[in-house]
A and B are shown apart, each in its own frame.
Chain A
Amino acid sequence: MSFKKIAGAIAVAGALVATGAVPGQAATLDDVKAAGTLKCGINTGLPGFAYTDDAGNWTGFDVAYCRALAAGVLGDANAISFVNLTGKTRFPALASGEIDVLSRNTTWTYSRDVDLGFTFIGVSYYDGQGFIGRTALGISSATELDGASVCIQTGTTTELNLADFFRVNGITYEPVPIETNAEARAAYEAERCDVYTTDASGLAATKTTFDDPSAHMVFPEIVSKEPLGPLVRQGDDQWADIARWTLNALITAEELGVTQANVAEMAAAAGDHPEINRMLGTEGSLGEMLGLDADWAARAIAAEGNYAEIFDRYIGPDSPLGLGRGLNALYTDGGILYSPPFR
Chain B
Amino acid sequence: MTERAPPGGGGFDISRAWTDERARGVIFQILIVLGVAGLAAFIVMNTITNLREAGLSSGYGFLFDTANFDINQRLLDYASTSTYGQAFVVGALNTVLVAVMGIIAATVIGFVAGVLRLSNNFLVSRIVVVWVEFTRNVPVLLQIIFWWLIMLALPRVKDSISIGDAAFLNNRGIFLPSPIFEDGSAIVLAMILVGVVATILVGRWARKRQEETGRTFPVGWVGLGLIVGIPVIVYFAIGQPLDFDLPEKKRFNLKGGFNITPELIALWLALSTYTGAFISEIVRGGILSVSKGQTEASGALGLRRGLTMRKIILPQALRVIIPPMTSQYLNLTKNSSLAVAIGYQDIVSIGDTILNQSGQALEVISLYMAFYLVLSLLTSAFMNWYNKRIALVER
- A interface residues, Cβ below 8 angstroms from B: 1-2, 5-6, 9-10, 12-13, 15-19, 21-22, 24-25, 87-88, 91-92, 95, 111, 115-117, 137, 145-149, 154-155, 159-160, 162-164, 166-167, 173-179, 183, 186-187, 190-192, 194, 234-235
Contacts and interface: CB of A to CB of B under 8 A. Distances in A.
Interface of B: 43, 46-47, 50-51, 53-57, 68-72, 79-81, 141, 152-153, 156-157, 171-172, 250-253, 255, 262, 337-338, 340-341, 343, 345, 348-349, 352-353, 355-359, 361-362, 364-365
A177 B343 contact: yes
Contacts of B359: 91, 95, 111, 115-117
Contact of A16 (B50, B172, B255, B352): B50
Contacts of B365: 6, 9-10, 13
Nearest to A189: B152
Contacts of A183: 343
16 contacts: A13-B365, A15-B50, A18-B46, A22-B50, A22-B54, A87-B356, A88-B353, A115-B56, A115-B358, A146-B251, A154-B356, A155-B353, A167-B80, A173-B70, A179-B343, A190-B153
Contacts of B56: 115-117
Contacts of A234: 54-55
Contacts of B157: 191
A176 B103 CA distance: 26
B363 to A, nearest CB: 10
Contact of B253 (A13, A16, A25, A147): A147
A115 B56 CA distance: 7
A5 B356 CA distance: 10
B262 A174 contact: no
Contacts of A88: 352-353, 355-356
B72 A176 contact: yes
A190 B252 CA distance: 14
A233 B184 CA distance: 63
A148 B156 contact: no
A19 to B, nearest CB: 6
Contacts of A192: 152, 171-172, 262
Contacts of B364: 9
Contacts of B362: 12-13, 16
B349 A177 contact: yes
Given A154-B343, A192-B172, 19 more contacts: A12-B361, A18-B46, A25-B54, A91-B356, A91-B359, A117-B55, A117-B56, A147-B250, A148-B251, A167-B79, A176-B343, A177-B345, A186-B152, A190-B153, A191-B156, A191-B157, A192-B152, A192-B262, A235-B53
Contact of B356 (A17, A19, A155): A155
A98 to B, nearest CB: 13
B350 to A, nearest CB: 9
Residue of B156, B251, B345, B352 with most chain A CB atoms under a 10 A cut-off: B352
B54 A154 contact: no
B361 A13 contact: yes
Candidate in A1, A137, A154, A192 with the most chain B CB atoms within 10 angstroms = A192
Contacts of B53: 21-22, 25, 235
A164 B51 CA distance: 31
A95 B348 CA distance: 20
Contact of A163 (B80, B156, B337, B361): B80
- Name the residue among A1, A95, A163 with the largest chain B CB count within 10 angstroms: A163
B51 A16 contact: yes
Given A17-B43, A234-B54, A149 B172 contact: yes
Nearest to B252: A148
Contact of A154 (B50, B352, B361): B352
Contacts of A177: 72, 343, 345, 349, 353
Counting from the closest, the 7 A-B pairs by CB-CB distance are A163-B80, A155-B356, A190-B152, A116-B359, A148-B252, A2-B340, A22-B54
Contacts of A25: 53-54
B344 to A, nearest CB: 9
Contacts of B340: 1-2, 5, 179
Contact of A159 (B262, B337, B353, B355): B353
A207 to B, nearest CB: 20
Contacts of A190: 152-153, 171
Contacts of B47: 16-17
Nearest to A186: B152
A175 B253 CA distance: 12
Contact of A95 (B70, B81, B250, B361): B361
A6 B337 CA distance: 11
Central interface residue in B56, B57, B153, by most chain A CB within 10 Å: B56
Most buried by B among A87, A92, A95, A191: A191
A186 to B, nearest CB: 8
A82 B261 CA distance: 36
B252 A178 contact: no
A88 B352 CA distance: 7
Contacts of A6: 348, 352, 365
A159 B69 contact: yes
Contacts of B352: 2, 5-6, 9, 88, 154-155
Interface centre among B70, B156, B250 (most CB of A within 10 A): B70
A175 B361 contact: no
Contacts of B358: 115
A179 B341 contact: yes
A117 B54 contact: yes
A147 B247 CA distance: 13
B349 A147 contact: no
Contacts of A16: 47, 50-51, 54, 361-362
Nearest to B353: A154
Contacts of B361: 9, 12-13, 16, 92, 95
A16 B51 CA distance: 7
A2 B337 contact: yes
B334 to A, nearest CB: 11
A17 B51 CA distance: 9
A51 B262 CA distance: 30
